[in-house]
Amino acid sequence: MSDAMLEISNAVKVFAKGTPNEHVALDGLSITLNKGDFVTIVGSNGAGKSTLFNAICGTFLLDSGNIALDNEDITYKKEHKRSHVIGRVFQDPMKGTAPGMTIEENIALAYSRASGSGFKLALNKKDVEFFRNSLSEFGMGLEDRMKTKVGLLSGGQRQVVTLLMCTLVPPKLLLLDEHTAALDPATAQKVMDITQNIVKKYNLTTMMITHNLKSAMETGNRTIMMDSGNIILDLDEKERSAMTLEDLLKMYSAKTNQDLDNDRMLLTKE
């Protein structure tokens, strides 16, 4: 038995295979995360970051390679089965929630799915109180808006509701797919603070894609950089702390023989 929470071995995914549009999205990628690891992921557009998340979630099956979560081989497990133990928050605040349902109903649906208790329209008082108390910890006043439809919330409020939905029953793995990128800087920081508190509270094994190099180097305990469907840099906390952002960019250039061409990433490095 391994101590690893997530083990990915030689993951390969090729889209449009055998056509002029063939694209190798994952190219023999391997990575291991131990329980409680918080890994930030950076890389230019098309590096394979979201493809990696989709492979972990079961959005598609790998062409070859293996994925194990908490010592269980999930390589061929269906996406809805994986969703019981993998939480994911997307960049788009519209994803991950049902806008026509209330905060209370959205949380209840996620809670029943993750806990395997079956969805009940008539919530008992104990559950409602549990949801309210959990929301109140975020300090955004959402516990007083339980009957509000999620579609009426701001982007930041919706991301916080989604975060709670993903972690009310702590998942084995939390995936954050640029979950603050669509928010204004102040709201993004608030959501990031809440995220870090949740991760710390439950000691969640976490992966976070970000275009903010500064955030990537300061968040969690490890940073990986992807390029062309593989990991070209894997820095632990000690290695990161001894590096500047300029050092990181120089290492990227040395590995790939090119400059990091993603303008959005460079703009957010300060």
Higher pLDDT, 4 or 115: 4
Residues 6+ apart with CB under 8 A from 217: 40, 223, 240, 243, 245, 248
- Chain-centroid distance of CA 5 in Å reads 15
Task: Give percent of the chain above pLDDT 90.
Answer: 67
Judge whether 260 lies within some domain.
Answer: no
Domain-located, residue 123: yes
Question: Residue 119: inside a domain, yes or no?
Answer: yes
What would the pLDDT profile of 110-133 be if each residue is shown by its tens digit?
888 777 666 555 567 888 899 999
Range of the domain at 144: 92-166
Tokens 């040395």, residue located:
254
Number of domains in the chain: 1
Q: What is the DSSP string of the chain?
A: --SEEEEEEEEEEEESTTSTT-EEEEEEEEEEEETT-EEEEE--TTSSHHHHHHHHHTSS--SEEEEEETTEE-TT--HHHHTTTEEEE-SSTTTTS-TTSBHHHHHHHHHHHHHTS---SS--HHHHHHHHHHHHTTSSSGGG-TTSBGGGS-HHHHHHHHHHHHHSS--SEEEEESTTTTS-HHHHHHHHHHHHHHHHHHT--EEEE-S-HHHHHHSSSEEEEEETTEEEEEEEHHHHHT--HHHHHHHHHHHHSS----HHHHHT--
**pLDDT one-digit tens code per residue, 169-200:** 999 999 999 999 989 888 999 999 999 999 99
Give a yes or no: residue 136 inside a domain: yes
* 69, 248 Cβ separation under 8 angstroms: no
Please tell me the least confidently modeled range out of 58-72, 96-110, 248-262.
248-262
Q: Give the pTM.
A: 0.91
**Per-residue pLDDT at 227 exceeds 70:** yes
Residue 94 has pLDDT above 70, yes or no: yes
Q: Is residue 151 part of a domain?
A: yes
For residue 148, is it within any domain? Answer: yes
Domain annotation covers residue 226: no
Query: Is 144 domain-assigned?
Result: yes
